[in-house]
Structure 1
Amino acid sequence: MSVLKRPILTEKATALSNLGKYVFEVSKTANKIEIANAIEKVYGVKVASVDTMRSIGRKKSRMSRGKAISGITSTYKKAIVTLKAGEIIDIYSDIA
């Protein structure tokens, strides 16, 4: 199973990329060392630090045909990867 699942491309993540920080969704069981090694292997850059956080799933509901449908969003783990000075990752090159 891969440590890196996908890059997170939101407005806040794009603003962080200007500072040399990139946001990825990672495996729930991955630690900071595994994440740093995976980033260095996949993108060929040097990682300065890794910060992780868990986004807990929350309850959501909506109306459908007069009935309320309830559910819960998925819990996932995010990693904010800070690269060494001068290093960049071109995330948008993979999107085609």
Structure 2
Amino acid sequence: MHWIILLIAGLLEVVWAFYMKKSEGFTLLVPSAITVAAMIASGVLLSFSMRVLPLGTAYTVWTGIGAIGSFLLGVLVLNEPAAPMRILAGAMILSGLLMMKLSNAG
């Protein structure tokens, strides 16, 4: 259950990063409000997952989900470049997340 909570927290990190970009420096009300709400929810869920999961694992997976998700959203929705070096970097982050999860199977 704590892994599912952590996954949701990581996905909310992607949400707040996306809407932070859309808020144009917190000058637009709705995207700014979504950003703040998603930040709070993400942080709260991260803290719940840390009740059971080790700090290093939970935080690394949380930020990794945010990084990979934001990268993919940027490429797929915002037409950001998908250069080979960026794809390789994303793959390395993803492999690190998988290793972190496997090292804490439970």
TM-score by length of 2: 0.23
More helix as a share of residues: 2
With the length of structure 1 as denominator, give the TM-score of the two structures.
0.25
Which entry has the higher C-alpha Rg, 1 or 2?
1
Structure holding more strand per residue: 1
